[in-house]
Amino acid sequence: METTPLQEWIAAKIGLPKGDAPDPARLRDYQLAMLGRTLAHARRNSPFYRRHLKDVDLHAMKSMADFSRLPFTFPRDLADSALEMLCVSQGEIARVVTLQTSGTTASPKRIYFTLDDLELTSDFFAQGMKALVAKPGQRVMVLMPGPNLGSVGERLSTGLKRIGCEAVVHGLVEDPGLVMEKINDLEIDCLIGLPVQVLSLARCSRKTAPGRIKSVLLSGDYVPRAITAAVNRAWNCPVFNHYGLTETGLGGGVECRALEGCHLREADLYLEIVDSRGRPVHDGRWGEIVLTTLTRTGMPLIRYRTGDISRFLTSRCACGSNLRRLDRVRGRSVYNLEGSELRLDEMDEAIFQLDDILDFEVRMERRENRHLMKIEFWAVPGAGSSFGFGLDLAIRRKLNNIPSLKQSMDRGVLSLTHVAPSSKKLFSNPMKRKIKRVEDAQEY
């Protein structure tokens, strides 16, 4: 099996001779040196970091253990102090991304990028996508926003062109049938898109020519295994997982042909995993991903709490690389019940096993001591049943197999009051899947 293309790329970026592999010791030395440069750059040029790091002795940063004692940066800092976090003049900023934080009244997060920062993203995409495409000349459809400078579609298009692939930036899916017609007409070989949107294509594409789709990359905050399996069954092709946030510069890590976790762009990013109290955990243990940028100049992030839950895999990848790999990320959307949690990612894994489901939404309401859950779903046109049951009953049965939900319903804390097809348009807000509360009604 071919080694991840990120290995040779990272080796070159950290200054190793051609053919040398970036072993953990040399990579860690490089990262520690870049962390020192990032800290100095941020404290020298950013009013926010000048305050945030005022008590830090930069000369004492001799190890990763020293670095792990630095204070965290939080999403609220991006909302409250974004301009003060800049390390360059606003005239040097080429792209500003605004992200609405949880809830409808919270201030949005703003993240700033220079042209050099954007170039780092395209460089990563060019290398990471080499695992996706079997050979130059293939056509890749990008089902992501574009074509503005710095958008994920534009950056992917730029990176794909560098490896000799033709990129078709379609944008988000609105009508799966029309998109599949375009895929067939343009003879598209590979797809890149959000998990639920690609799933809709796979389940609405009964007439796709065998072998038409040769590979798929699913990208989002997390990728349910049930969706990966469904897309693989539909098209009999490898389905890759990508981890990336706006905060990582869109690209963070991508699977190789082994499909055993995401190799990370470790020459540009340093990731930690911490427990609920912010303490580093051993590899193999689950915790929150903490991000530090190593090469970003416009708005570096130092020990940024992403809210994403994952772990570092401990075994060596089957591709032969010794680069660290990130396990599948667990979803962030959680609703607290009395003594337990309702997790959207657990519901995804259960409901998306049903062959006719395209997407669903969950809405929670609290009345006195009881939590009321309502589910609306979208199904393949013409579908009416699954496993011999109506889809509403099939969904109820699947949810009843989730221990935390069943226990909460048995205790009378949670009631599933409504399961029905949705009257709303499919993918009304595909970039923002979450468990919605009554106070989020204007978003629902």
* 341/242 same-domain check: no
Average of per-residue pLDDT across 409-428: 91
Count of other CB atoms within 10 angstroms of residue 20: 13
Average of per-residue pLDDT across 83-94: 98
* 287/369 same-domain check: no
Does residue 107 register a pLDDT over 50? yes
Does residue 104 register a pLDDT over 60? no
Q: d(Cα 188, Cα 185) in Å, to the nearest integer?
A: 8
Does residue 441 register a pLDDT over 60? no
CATH number of the domain encompassing residue 67: 3.40.50.12780
* 303/425 same-domain check: no
* 295/356 same-domain check: no
The helix (H) or strand (E) run that includes residue 76 is helix 75-80
Predicted confidence band at 388 (pLDDT cuts at 50, 70, 90)?
very low
Sign (positive/negative) of CA torsion 110, 116, 121, 122? positive
* 32/153 same-domain check: yes
CA–centroid distance for 268 within its chain: 17
Contacts 24+ apart (CB under 8 A), 386-391: 386/354, 386/355, 386/356, 386/357, 387/354, 391/354, 391/356, 391/357, 391/421
Q: pLDDT tens digits, residue range 206-263?
A: 567 778 899 999 997 689 999 999 999 999 999 999 999 999 999 999 999 999 999 9
Count of other CB atoms within 10 angstroms of residue 259: 16
Sign (positive/negative) of CA torsion 227, 427, 175, 383? positive
Query: Which range of residues forms the domain containing residue 62?
Result: 1-327
Given this model, what pLDDT does residue 207 score?
Answer: 65
Interior/surface letters 169-201, b for 16+ CB within 10 angstroms, e for the rest: bbebbeebeebbeebeeeebbbbbbbbbbbbbb
Given this model, what pLDDT does residue 106 score?
Answer: 65
Q: d(Cα 154, Cα 14) in Å, to the nearest integer?
A: 27
CATH number of the domain encompassing residue 392: 3.30.300.30
Predicted confidence band at 49 (pLDDT cuts at 50, 70, 90)?
very high
Does residue 4 register a pLDDT over 70? yes
* 314/435 same-domain check: no
Of 274, 301, 327, which closes a domain? 327
Query: Could you give the number of structural domains in the chain?
Result: 2
* 366/278 same-domain check: no
This prediction has a pTM of: 0.93
Q: pLDDT tens digits, residue range 320-365?
A: 998 999 999 988 888 888 778 899 999 999 999 999 999 999 999 9
Q: pLDDT tens digits, residue range 275-326?
A: 999 999 999 999 999 999 999 999 999 999 999 999 999 999 999 998 999 9
Of 297, 327, 357, which closes a domain? 327
* 319/344 same-domain check: no
The DSSP call for residue 348 is: H
Q: d(Cα 176, Cα 154) in Å, to the nearest integer?
A: 22
* 294/351 same-domain check: no
